[in-house]
Amino acid sequence: MKKVRSWVEVDAAPATVWAVLADFDTYPEWNPVEISMKGEPVTGTVLEHTQRLTPDGKARTFRPTIVAATPGEELAWRGKVYIPGVFDVLHRFWLEPLDDGRRTRLHQDEDFSGLLVPLSGKAIGETERAFAIANTAIKARAESREQS
């Protein structure tokens, strides 16, 4: 198994950060990595999720299932490439309240498992860079909402 972990501190309450993450319809407006997300932020929902890990990279569409959706706390989905056990992914956002809930540490994690993981070094490296880009976009969106 391989893991990618990142976090960013956001000058917005967890409820505001959650609202940004859960507003899938607006992803094309502001998210340069998760460029489209169709579905509802509800456990059990199968998403139509399109991402681009690099600005000039190919867009790829997946159909993961939401495995956790707790407002203000966590959003996670599990997906696979091909069939289960070949290249499986668990993607998770979790929100850590800071400063009595006035600020948030947004954690973004991804766990990779399956037969092809040892051959996926480039994709995992691109994922690490994409997390930094996405975190910056989420932070900017949440902070702009908080100030409105």
Q: How many domains does the chain have?
A: 1
Output the pTM of the full model. 0.91
Q: List the domain range (segments joined by +) for residue 44.
A: 2-147
Domain CATH code at residue 97: 3.30.530.20
Query: Given a cut of 80, is residue 148 above it in pLDDT?
Result: no
Task: Report the alpha-carbon distance of residue 100 to residue 86 in Å, rounded.
Answer: 43
Which tens digits make up the pLDDT trace of 85-99? 888 999 999 999 999
Q: Is 119 or 103 the better-scoring residue by pLDDT?
A: 103
Spatial CB neighbours of 29, under 8 Å, sequence gap ≥ 6: none
Spatial distance between the Cα atoms of 142 and 144, rounded to a whole number of angstroms: 5
